[in-house]
Structures are given as C-alpha cells and as structure tokens.
Amino acid sequence: MNLVRTFSDARASYKGTVALVPTMGFFHEGHLALMTAAQNSADTVVVSHFVNPLQFDNPADLERYPRDVERDMTIAEEAKVDVLFAPTSVEMIPQTPLTAVTVDGLTDTMEGVMRPGHFAGVATIVTKLFAGLQPHLAFFGRKDAQQLAVIRRLVLDLSFPVRVLAHPTVRESDGLALSSRNTLLTSEERLAARELSQGLFAAVTAVEAGERNGPRLESIVRGALHSSRPDYGELASQDRVERLSELDRPSFLAVAARVGKVRLIDNIAFDLAAGEVVADRGLRLKHPSLLYR
Ligand code: PAF
C-alpha cells in the first residue's frame, strides 16, 4: 500500500481505472465494504482519510471525532488498499477557503436544517477530492442518504466525470448502523442507540403490511425513541430529498437522535422494483465490529 500525503503523489501511483472511497477515518466494516466494492470495480483503489473541519458545525463534535491513523493504516494495509491518501491540513485546505460548493434545495431538510453549513463543507471537500484525485468511480455508503443525494447532484451540476456508486449500510449484529461515533457511547447509551434501527425496522414491517402513509411511517420511527432525543424522523425522496406524504417513489425513511452527547443518524432506503417497494435493510455483522478492536 502506498501512503501518500499529496494529490500529485496519489495520482502518480495510479494504474488503470481508479475508484475513490472518501472517508474521515476510524475504519469499520462499512468502510471495508466500500473498499471491497471499489476493488471489484477498478484497477486502483484510493481511500482518502481526512477529518474535514469544514463539515462540522460544532467544534466539540470535531474535537471528539475518533481518530487513529496508525490503526487505520494497518486496517487499510490488511484490506489491500492500493493508495491511502492521508493529506495534511495544508494540502487539503491551503488557506481559509473563499470558495464553497453549495447544493441548494436538497439541503433544506433534515441534516441541512440540524447542521447549518454541514453540506457546504461536505460538498466543498468532496469537490476538492474529485478535482485533486480524479477518480473514475467513487463509493459512498447509503447510511448518509442525504449526503449521497447531494453528491450525486453536485456531480451532475458540475459535470464531474465520476460515477457515484452507493453501498448498503453495514450494521452491528443488533441492527445499530456502523459509525465511528458508536465508539463514543457508554454501555448504557449503546443499548439506547438500538432504538434508531428498531424504529426503522418497525416501519419496514408496516410497509410490508401495506402502509404507505408518510406521517404514519414517521410516527412509528419517532415512537421507538424513548431514551434517545429525536431530532427528526422523516420520509423523503431519494433524489430531491423532499418530504413525502406517501411512499410512492424511491425514498428513504431517516432518523436522527441524540444519545447522551452523541448524535446518530440512520435510514432505510425504499426502492421500487416492478412496482413493488423493496426496503434496503443493509447488511448485518455476525461478529463484534472492528470498531472496538
Ligand atoms: O461520509 C463521510 O465520511 C464524509 O462526509 C466525507 C464524504 C468523507 C466527506 O468528508
């Protein structure tokens, strides 16, 4: 594996087609699944590793965000990643940026409301990664469904020659979506955190029984939050991230809640196949996550 710190060193180490997996590090099986999908689709896999300060609206959240580059280098090496791009802050953000990428409309709900400036930070850094690393493909997790919509739209609007591919959410064995933030939960909070996925799975059961009403599905999700403090539970369209009164198109049911000091998000995507609604429940680990290794 090549560990590189600059865009030009990353590009100099490519052979053939290039797939990018953008990350903020502290790898877990969700990242590994993206790396494997990337390896199956391109000759060179480059994983970016940068905790992007531009996307944190809360300095305490940025400070707390888990970091361990040595650990991540070992995991990336074991995963046979070709290039680990771990830029210095100066490489990524040479000066206080005077340019920002904002994606309107799609960011007027959910995370866009709860975390002002978050998506401009994501869109700006992903634009820099696309411009500097010039991948043919880029892989993102479906756990960040609104982020995925924002990135797909920025690729379309800015004509980036990048194909964006999404991968199902990877979950711990009890259903909790993998997130580096799970490591910040106390054991009591870790139990409470299950409420997010429990509410989503209860809503999937209702969908399978024929429920299509948006507000009723949202209230099932919110009704499962007892120990966690809800920020939102919303059904939205996958492409425009517009709140839906009926589940009648590709959509996602999203939840965000605070468990202690930790804010968690999760969602279930609903796709339509031959007129049927198909829920993407994600993939479940059968063993403890490497998050706790
Ligand atoms: O999903 C993430 O980890 C981040 O938002 C991303 C896409 C790497 C941008 O910093």
Whether residue 265 is found in the same domain as residue 132? no
Quote the number of domains for the chain: 2
How many alpha carbons lie under 13 Å from residue 36 in its C-beta half-sphere?
11
Residue 24 CA to ligand 1 center (angstroms) comes to 6
Position 293 in a domain: no
* Ligand 1 atom nearest to CA at 122: 9
For residue 262, give the CATH number of its domain: 3.30.1300.10
Instruction: Tell me what pLDDT residue 114 has.
Output: 97
Strands (E), the chain: 2-4, 18-23, 44-49, 83-85, 137-141, 163-167, 170-171, 229-237, 251-259, 262-273, 276-280, 283-284
Position 15 in a domain: yes
Whether residue 200 is found in the same domain as residue 146? no
Active-site entry in 31, 49, 118, 167? 31
Whether residue 145 is found in the same domain as residue 240? no
Could you tell me whether strands 163-167 and 170-171 are parallel, antiparallel, or unpaired per DSSP bridges? unpaired
* Ligand 1 atom nearest to CA at 126: 9
Nearest CA to ligand 1 atom 9: 122
Whether residue 186 is found in the same domain as residue 151? no
Whether residue 45 is found in the same domain as residue 140? yes
CA–CA dist 76, 56 (Å, integer): 25
Single out the residue in 125, 143, 167 at which a domain terminates: 167
Position 291 in a domain: no
Instruction: Tell me what pLDDT residue 293 has.
Output: 81
Instruction: Tell me what pLDDT residue 275 has.
Output: 87
Position 289 in a domain: no
Q: For ligand 1, is residue 24 a contact (CB within 6 Å)?
A: yes
Residue 23 CA to ligand 1 center (angstroms) comes to 5
pLDDT in tens, the chain (293 residues): 999 999 999 999 999 999 999 999 999 999 999 999 999 999 999 999 999 999 999 999 999 999 999 999 999 999 999 999 999 999 999 999 999 999 999 999 999 999 999 999 999 999 999 999 999 999 999 999 999 999 999 999 999 999 999 999 999 999 999 999 999 999 999 999 999 999 999 999 999 999 999 999 999 999 999 999 999 999 999 999 999 999 999 999 999 999 999 999 999 999 999 989 999 999 999 999 999 98
Whether residue 7 is found in the same domain as residue 152? yes
Measured in degrees and rounded to the nearest 5, phi and psi for residue 218 equal: -65, -40
Position 292 in a domain: no
Whether residue 188 is found in the same domain as residue 139? no
Whether residue 151 is found in the same domain as residue 219? no
* Ligand 1 atom nearest to CA at 23: 8
Position 26 in a domain: yes
Residue 122 CA to ligand 1 center (angstroms) comes to 6
Among 125, 146, 165, say which to mutate for ligand 1: greatest number of ligand atoms within 8 Å of CB.
125
Could you tell me whether strands 18-23 and 44-49 are parallel, antiparallel, or unpaired per DSSP bridges? parallel
Position 290 in a domain: no
For residue 133, give the CATH number of its domain: 3.40.50.620
Position 187 in a domain: yes
Q: For ligand 1, is residue 124 a contact (CB within 6 Å)?
A: no
Question: What residue numbers bound the domain in which 240 lies?
Answer: 180-284
Nearest CA to ligand 1 atom 7: 22
Single out the residue in 136, 167, 198 at which a domain terminates: 167
Q: For ligand 1, is residue 126 a contact (CB within 6 Å)?
A: yes
Q: Are 17 and 43 in contact (CB under 8 A)?
A: yes
Whether residue 88 is found in the same domain as residue 192? no
Catalytic, 31? Answer yes
Whether residue 188 is found in the same domain as residue 68? no
CA–CA dist 206, 225 (Å, integer): 17
Single out the residue in 118, 138, 167 at which a domain terminates: 167
Whether residue 160 is found in the same domain as residue 188? no
Whether residue 161 is found in the same domain as residue 138? yes
Please tell me whether the overall predicted TM-score, pTM, comes out greater than 0.95 for this model.
yes
Residue 22 CA to ligand 1 center (angstroms) comes to 6
